[in-house]
Amino acid sequence: MTKYPGQATDSTNERINQLERHIDALLRVVERLRRENEMLHHSQATLNVERASLLEKNETARSRIEAMIIRLKAMEDH
């Protein structure tokens, strides 16, 4: 077989094919990680909203308990 400048050998073709397969696999991993990252961001946003709601409920309960304690102390004083 006569080789001409720029002509790829079978070995070179196989290495190129391997590189293409590796690149395709990497692209699939990148896409999977992108989707996973998007889901995690969504979950984090949801959890942040839930946390804020729970903190608000906790503060409301604390205020109500403090008000009850004040009323109970006032009743004791009378």
Per-residue pLDDT at 16 exceeds 90 = yes
User: Torsion angle of alpha carbons 52, 58, 62, 64, nearest 10°?
Assistant: 100
Confidence of residue 9 (pLDDT cuts 50, 70, 90): confident
Q: Which residue has the higher pLDDT, 8 or 5?
A: 8
Q: Which residue has the higher pLDDT, 5 or 77?
A: 77
8 contacts: CB under 8 Å, gap ≥ 6: 16
How confident is the prediction for the chain on average, in pLDDT? 92
Question: Does the reported pTM lie above 0.85?
Answer: no
